[in-house]
Amino acid sequence: MLGGFIDQGPIWIVFAPIASTGWALATAVAESKMTAHVRDQLLLAATALSVLFFLIVCSVLFVCKNLTDPIRRLAHAVKRIRAGELDSKVTDITSSDEIGQLATGFNAMVDRLSEHVAALSSEMAARELVESELQVAREMQSSLLPMTYRPFPDRNEFDLYARNGAARHVAGDFYDFFFVNEDNLMIVIADVSGTGIPAAMVMAVTRTIIRNLANVGKSPREIFEETNRLLIEDQPKHVFGTMFLGYYCVANGALTYAKAGHQPAYIVNKEGAVSCSGKATGTIVGMLDEVSYTDRRIVIEPEN
């Protein structure tokens, strides 16, 4: 009786006695038939769970991609800027969330950075032009100062050396020396107020005035008085200068000088002793009208 069931695998046998007849009822059912519905339900549930899991994974990947793509674009834009591409912006981010706001702020920052770099480049170009012009002005000013030593190789009675170091490219400090005749050497040490190109221009004018007056035989006192008058006529009132002028007579060592508010000059003898040449013989040049000056005279002995 059970042969047909054995081929179907495990079977379930149900037995129940019938007391009134003394009989018993037994039936056999294949397990596959009894659990078929359960297996179908389990398979359906597993399939549904698999589909749900797949949908969840796809959703997570989609959301992650939407979240990370803008961040990757931002990171790539930052990398391009770090590499020197200062006009790199973030594109294709149109959301209004925090990432969208960050992208908008980043692009605005790039615009401001580009404007700042352009302004800085323009400023640097202008500064380089000014620096170039100042260098030319410095070279022109240096050309007005005696720079050759020994300046008078055929004169063995004395030695000369001078050095000028401007605080900026150009300034108002200057010196000069030149022979006005065979025996008299003019020595000039001066400082025009202020720094920069205005002071250098006044210095050039003052140097020309002094040279012209010295070459016509004016004394230091007369040179100061005439220079003071000309500077007041032609220059702003706030420009003035302090000066030391002296004629050094090579024949006898006499130094006839005048000082217009300048720092004292010092004489150092061969033993190293230092002595002051005297006080100022007048006030600054180029500030006050009708100022008078006086000359003084010292003799520099050969052993000094």
DSSP class per residue in 38-78 = HHHHHHHHHHHHHHHHHHHHHHHHHHHHHHHHHHHHHHHHH
Q: Which of the four pLDDT bands, split at 50, 70 and 90, describes residue 303?
A: low
Chain segment 237-281, per-residue pLDDT in tens: 667 888 899 999 988 888 899 998 888 888 887 787 888 876 778
Cβ–Cβ < 8 Å for 282, 294:
yes
pLDDT, one tens digit per residue, over 126-146 is 888 777 766 766 767 676 778
pLDDT, mean of residues 100-125: 81
Q: Quick one: pLDDT at residue 276? A: 80
Find the distance separating the first CA and the last CA of the chain, reported in whole Å: 152
pLDDT at 7: 59
Label each residue of 101-115 as H, E or C: HHHHHHHHHHHHHHH
pTM above 0.85, yes or no: no
- Phi then psi for 276, rounded to 5 degrees? -85, 145
Answer yes or no: are the C-beta atoms of 192 and 205 closer than 8 Å.
no
The pLDDT assigned to 113 comes to 80
Euclidean distance between CA atoms 303 and 291, whole angstroms = 37
Mapped onto helix, strand or coil, the DSSP state of residue 4 is helix
DSSP secondary-structure letter at 288? S
pLDDT at residue 185 greater than cutoff 80? yes
Domains of the chain: 3-34 (no CATH), 150-299 (3.60.40.10)
pLDDT in tens, 105-114: 777 887 888 8
pLDDT at 134: 67
Mean pLDDT of 58-67: 80
- Among 207-221, 254-268, 276-290, the least confident range: 276-290
Are 96 and 104 in contact by the 8 Å Cβ rule? The answer is: no
Segment 71-96 mean pLDDT = 75
Is residue 289 over pLDDT 60?
yes
The mean predicted confidence, pLDDT, of the chain is 80
Tell which residue, 191, 141, 195, has the closest CA to residue 168. Answer: 195
Q: Contact, 245 vs 296, CB < 8 A?
A: no
**Of residues 125 and 12, which shows the higher confidence score?**
125
Please indicate whether residue 113 or residue 4 has the higher confidence score (pLDDT). Answer: 113
Q: Are 281 and 247 in contact (CB under 8 A)?
A: no
The DSSP-derived string for 151-212 is S-TT--S---------SSSSEEEEEEEEESSSSEEEEEEEEEEEEHHHHHHHHHHHHHHHHH
What's the CA gap between 17 and 233, in Å, rounded? 148
Res. 8 pLDDT band, cuts 50 70 90:
low
